[in-house]
Amino acid sequence: MSVNLPNLLTIFRIVLIPLYLYIFFSEEPYHVEIALGILILAGLTDIADGYIARKHKLVTTFGIMMDPLADKLMMMSVIASLFLTERISLWAALFFFARDVAMIVTGAIYHLRGKKTVPANAYGKVTTVLFYLVIPLAMYRYEYSEEILWTVIAFSFITSAIYLGKFRLLNRT
């Protein structure tokens, strides 16, 4: 692994996951607000590591693989916490997990077979932003948060299909 600032930010985002879960499930006052702050910090470090990596030509294989994995692990943790506290339905959580696990497994298979992987594109970034926007609605039990979440989940499946197409095109030669 190449140790550079973007990769350290990615590792930091992974470290934030247990902290988010601990705070979210605690009985402390303002635990939801603090957990949301941790999630926002994770989102900001995601933006920062991508920007720094591209601007300073610090893109690494580690970053290409671990950056989206860190995002998916954080989002899976958040979705699990929302389900376990009955803020979202089992079906929404299952569809979210099915899509993310499929993307992780597919990326790992391509990587382990020595195939090229596709870095994040605009569709993936929009999907991530949409999840970051809908999650606070679910955290605070906004009346239509589940319906909005389903819309974002549907969009994420479209994004996944685009990624799979790019994986296949990139590795066809």
In sequence order, what are the residues at sequence separation of 6 or more whose Cβ sits closer than 8 angstroms to the Cβ of residue 159?
123, 124, 126, 127
**Tokens representing residue 16 in the block:** 């934030």
- Under the banding of pLDDT at 50, 70 and 90, the label for residue 125 is confident
In sequence order, what are the residues at sequence separation of 6 or more whose Cβ sits closer than 8 angstroms to the Cβ of residue 147?
none
pLDDT: is 65 or 134 the higher one?
A: 134
For 104, which DSSP code? Answer: H
Angle between helices 90-112 and 145-170 (to 10 degrees): 20
**Tokens representing residue 51 in the block:** 């920007």
pLDDT score recorded for residue 173 = 63
* Residue 111 scores a pLDDT above 80: no
Q: Mind listing the pLDDT tens digit for each residue in 5-17?
A: 999 999 999 999 9
Burial (Cβ within 10 Å: 0-12, 13-18, ≥19) of residue 20: buried
Whether residue 144 contacts residue 152, with contact meaning beta carbons closer than 8 Å, is answered with no
DSSP annotation string for 25-41? TS-STTHHHHHHHHHHH
Site of tokens 């989102």:
43
**Tokens representing residue 73 in the block:** 């692990």
Of 45, 43, 25, nearest in space to 35 by CA: 25
- 23-32, 36-45, 122-131: least confident range: 122-131
Q: Mind listing the pLDDT tens digit for each residue in 73-96?
A: 999 999 999 999 999 999 999 999
